[in-house]
Amino acid sequence: MTNFIAERNQIYCDLKELYPNWVFMSVVGSHNYGTATDKSDIDVKMVVMPTFKEFYYNKFNRTSKGGPDTPVDYTCHPLHEYIRHSFKGNMNFWEVFFSNNLTINDYYPDLRELLPDIRDAIRENFVPNFNANLGMAIQKHNSFLKMWDLYNSQVGTDHFELWLDRLLKEAQHSIRILEFLSAYANGRFTIKSLCSGDYLQIRSWKNIDPSRKTEYCCTFQRLLDEVRGYEDWFKHNFDGVDKTVFDNINIEIYNIIKRSM
């Protein structure tokens, strides 16, 4: 853990120097959930202040750097776009706001003060969140099934471990999303609750033989049925969201951007 904190802090220092207009950043992925292995890279999402031209024309470059063979993988987004995607229900964006690895630039104290409101707005937006995450889980599951034949064709080749890793990630992601929805419905929502027994079990697999494929598919179906059973609960509790909550936060974000220009 100590080594990770030292590595994280060094990565943050490097990114701050590379992007002086940074607003906030956080480690995401396996290191954020506490499920990283020795082979796991460190994934970072960072948000920068857009220039006036980028904001006015709504055009900007989303920087991304990293890959399977690199120790650090980061993506860079403009502030207003990042907030908008977070409110649309994409857990890959809004998990940052709940992370213990989140760091905010001291130059933007208004954003630090706004953080509790952003978290509340994300929680309240759970009907779109439910639908978006359920769709994402099914998409990952279908991708796993499609990749299965490709994986089997690579057994015994030099690319076998790479295909196994890709296949496991599809399975892990689908289970992680469903476990998250179940945890939220049962009032157990924290970043670490996104990874329970089923996720960790899949992560420990060194191969996927036909029995493992069947085991995974049964686990997925069980969790899917469980989550679908919560659908009415989600809609009953979160369908009446006051849209002014999002409008007010977007106005605050606009003012923060305006003051920085």
Q: Are residues 23 and 82 in the same domain?
A: yes
259 within some domain: no
Look at the block and give the residue holding tokens 């998990």. 95
The pTM of this model reads 0.76
**Which of 83, 111, 139 lies at the terminal end of a domain, its last residue?**
111
116 within some domain: no
Is it the case that residue 241 has pLDDT exceeding 80?
no
Is it the case that residue 228 has pLDDT exceeding 80?
yes
Q: CATH number, domain at 54?
A: 3.30.460.10
Which domain, by its residues, includes 188? 126-236
243 within some domain: no
d(CA 174, CA 230) in angstroms, rounded, equals: 17
pLDDT tier, 208 (very low <50, low <70, confident <90, very high otherwise): confident
Choose among 214, 250, 227: nearest CA to 80.
250
Q: Are residues 10 and 63 in the same domain?
A: yes
Choose among 50, 53, 29: nearest CA to 39.
29
119 within some domain: no
Name the most confidently modeled range: 42-46, 150-154, 156-160, 230-234.
42-46
120 within some domain: no
Spatial contact of 129 and 95, defined as CB atoms under 8 Å apart: no
Is it the case that residue 69 has pLDDT exceeding 70?
no
Count CB atoms within 10 A of the CB of residue 87.
Answer: 20
Is it the case that residue 224 has pLDDT exceeding 90?
yes
261 within some domain: no
Q: Are residues 98 and 156 in the same domain?
A: no
Q: Are residues 203 and 166 in the same domain?
A: yes
Query: How many domains is the chain built from?
Result: 2
